[in-house]
């Protein structure tokens, strides 16, 4: 498994617009445990996401006063797995839909608002929101805990776990139940902030 320190930004490197993002990285120990769980379900290692992370904040802007070269620091944040739900990573993917085949789509877990990690995630999100100046935000309202001025309007904290082609069953109920039995917490151990120029 690659060291998280050397992992590239999860977006395509060919992005032609400036952007800023803040990510929480799943610990290497838990990423391995998650990979072992999915392979025990017969899922190909090639379909298991590497560099598992949660996006705290994203903007298609360069944010004034952000640390030049970005920032990386250690954190200790535990996700309460009992307050997570599997979802297809597509608009409306939190609810079963016949046109969204989980085996052909990216799959992850979303954190419910009751998750004990939410308050710490929102503290980090508030840290990023302070960089939003009126000149940067422009017309839209500034981001809030649960909305964003850039990209998707609603903020839904989630972790991508599987890539398209996992061949999981269309009914995610059994997988979700087994997942919540196998894991009590998932640890985040690193927080990074980065900018990418045009």
Q: Is the pLDDT of residue 1 over 90?
A: no
What does CATH list as the number for 16-138+150-196? 3.90.1140.10
CA distances from 194 to 9, 11, 59, 187 (A): 9, 12, 11, 21
Residue 129 sits at φ, ψ, to 5 deg, of -65, -25
Q: In whole numbers, what is the pLDDT of the chain averaged over residues? A: 83
When pLDDT is averaged across residues 146-164 and rounded to a whole number, the result is 80
- pLDDT(110) > 50: yes
- Whether the pLDDT of residue 192 is over 70: the answer is yes
What pLDDT digit, counting tens, does each position of 51-109 carry? Answer: 999 999 888 777 777 766 678 999 999 999 999 999 898 877 776 777 788 888 999 99
d(CA 67, CA 61): 14
Instruction: Look at residue 187 in the predicted model and tell me its pLDDT.
Output: 98
Does pTM top 0.85 for this prediction?
no
């Amino acid at each position: 498994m690659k060291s998280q320190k050397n992992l590239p930004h999860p977006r395509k490197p060919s992005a032609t617009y400036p952007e800023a993002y803040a990510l929480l990285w799943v610990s290497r120990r838990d990423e391995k445990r998650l990979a072992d769980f999915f392979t025990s379900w017969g899922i190909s290692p090639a379909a298991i996401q590497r560099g598992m992370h949660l996006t705290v904040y994203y903007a298609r802007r360069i944010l004034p006063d952000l640390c030049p070269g970005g920032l990386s620091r250690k954190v200790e944040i535990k996700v309460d797995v009992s307050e997570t739900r599997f979802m297809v990573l597509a608009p409306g993917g939190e609810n079963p839909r016949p046109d969204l085949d989980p085996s052909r789509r990216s799959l992850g877990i979303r954190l419910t608002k009751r998750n004990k990690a939410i308050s710490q995630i929102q503290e980090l999100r508030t840290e990023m929101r302070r960089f939003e100046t009126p000149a940067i935000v422009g017309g839209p309202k500034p981001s809030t805990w649960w909305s964003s001025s850039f990209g998707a309007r609603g903020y839904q904290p989630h972790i991508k776990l599987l890539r398209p082609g996992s061949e999981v069953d269309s009914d995610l109920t059994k997988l979700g139940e087994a997942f919540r039995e196998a894991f009590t917490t998932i640890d985040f151990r690193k927080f990074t902030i980065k900018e990418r120029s045009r």
